[in-house]
Amino acid sequence: MVPLMRSRLFWRRSAAAAGTYASAALGFGATVVALHVFSTETFGLYALVLAATAFVQSLLDLTVEEALVKFGFRYSERGDWGRLRRLFESAIKFKLAGGVLATLLLLGLAPAANALLNKSGLTTPLLIAAFLPLAQCTENVGGVAIILRGRYDVRAFFLFVSMALRFTGIAVAASHGLTATITAIVVTQVVATIAISVAGWIAYRRFPQAPSVPLGEERRDILSFVWQSTAATAVISLTAPLSLLVLGRVASTRQVAFFRAAMSPQQAFAVVSAPARLILLTEQTRDWERGTRQVVFAGTKRYMLGMTAVAAVILPPLLVFTPELAKLLFSAKNVGAVDATRIMIVAGALRMIYGWTKSFPVSIGRPALRIWTHGLEMIVLVPLAGVLGAEWGATGAAAAVLISSIVFCLAWTVLFIRIQREPASAATSGSSLEAAVP
């Protein structure tokens, strides 16, 4: 029986890795296609439209997924199926409300986009992109239902499906211009959301069914978790779009295009660690709920050692051959991104090593830790991106990213050491948050 379980676990982890790597490769490929088909100026507008959409979506979207994971595992471990049902019902309502509000705000802002960013050609694409938050809002709820069944391999498969649809849409529509490409992204997102929502519903129905019951005394804890996760996710999600928008305000569209191209290594490094992070979120949350704290700490250290080894192997050749890679992936017209890309490669490697910081706060039930760390990162990044970007364009903005990444990693090193030293009762309680924040 034990060998069978190990074989099944190995298969799920391998499938999760394959699906995640494939989805991320397609996401990177979509950027490469856009870089090659669009002119540099059009790609800069494309980056600004998606950045503005992500910015507004991050402001208004309630991050209920993390509470669903944390309390979903708690209720499934307890067999509290009535509260699990109420949790999902509430999550869907919150996500729909956030999607509607984000779409309405984008529709209102689109006519002023050209004036706000001192560019032309943004209004029509942004009016279409306004429907992206609504199209995407319930996607992650379906994904959580799959994760709660322990099937992160299936979740990874649907990540692949979603990105394959987007890649196809961009590849087909890019030659027809920016507006057609944004339309294709919205349409393919609708299809992807429907697909994973159906799969999530099937996964949820496999839990024992019970009438919905009030969350009771845990309602306050759940709402607190949601608001903390929402604030943390907003800070995280706003960082990259803000840096792009700030650079767009102080520099040319070409420099925005170069900076967006240079951000590709961060996506690539995130790809390397993505399967491990998905597994960490699922297994460490369950381990923490079972009271096995040391298993969580040990797993995090193994992750860091593994990713440090990966970075040591791939970083030197990437830095040496950056010009050749830039010409191949970005096309010759975007070779101005080379210096910025080198800097972003180093920043991406650092963030890969510290990739566990995305799941660890959720697993231990303290999402507010991400508010402090990513808030510190934003405070450093956004002003520096404006100052350095105005002086050196994309290269200056990339330097701002590297500096803010170093600050972020140092902050999490201190936090992790302090959390390890806490008594078990304190570490389990969200009320001990203040004790862990320097």
Domain boundary, last residue among 164, 185, 214: 214
Pair 342, 412 in one domain: yes
Pair 271, 395 in one domain: yes
For residue 164, is it within any domain?
A: yes
Domain boundary, last residue among 172, 191, 214: 214
pLDDT at 406: 95
Nearest 5°: CA angle at 328, between 322 and 333?
95
pLDDT at 178: 93
Pair 238, 168 in one domain: no
**Phi, psi for 126 (deg, rounded to 5):** -75, -35
Pair 258, 299 in one domain: yes
Range of the domain at 417: 223-438
Neighbours of 224 (CB within 10 A): 14
Pair 269, 227 in one domain: yes
The answer to whether the beta carbons of residues 369 and 437 sit under 8 Å apart is: yes
For residue 9, is it within any domain?
A: no
Pair 267, 189 in one domain: no
For residue 252, is it within any domain?
A: yes
Does residue 321 sit in helix, strand or coil?
Answer: coil
Q: Which two tokens stand for residue 400?
A: 């701002």
C-alpha span between 191 and 171 (Å, rounded):
17
Pair 210, 237 in one domain: no
The answer to whether the beta carbons of residues 274 and 19 sit under 8 Å apart is: no
For residue 316, is it within any domain?
A: yes
Look at the chain and report how many structural domains it folds into.
Answer: 2
**Residue ranges of the chain whose pLDDT lies below 50:** 1-2, 427-438
Query: What pTM did the predictor assign?
Result: 0.66
pLDDT at 271: 67
Pair 153, 227 in one domain: no
Q: DSSP readout, 107-173? A: HHHGGGHHHHHT-SS-HHHHHHHTTHHHHHTTHHHHHHHHHHTT-HHHHHHHHHHHHHHHHHHHHHH
Produce one character per residue of 311-328: b if its CB has 16 or more CB atoms within 10 Å, e if not. Answer: beebbeebeeebeebbee
C-alpha span between 195 and 179 (Å, rounded):
25
pLDDT at 179: 93
pLDDT at 328: 80
Pair 238, 367 in one domain: yes
pLDDT at 428: 47
pLDDT at 154: 80
pLDDT at 433: 40
Counting every residue written for the chain, the total comes to: 438
Pair 209, 262 in one domain: no
For residue 7, is it within any domain?
A: no
Closest CA to 414 of 397, 432, 437: 437
Domain boundary, last residue among 171, 189, 214: 214
**Beta strand residue intervals within 224-340, DSSP E:** none
Pair 299, 157 in one domain: no
pLDDT at 105: 92
Nearest 5°: CA angle at 335, between 331 and 338?
125
Pair 307, 161 in one domain: no
Closest CA to 341 of 273, 268, 271: 268
For residue 233, is it within any domain?
A: yes
For residue 8, is it within any domain?
A: no
Residue type, 363: S
For residue 165, is it within any domain?
A: yes
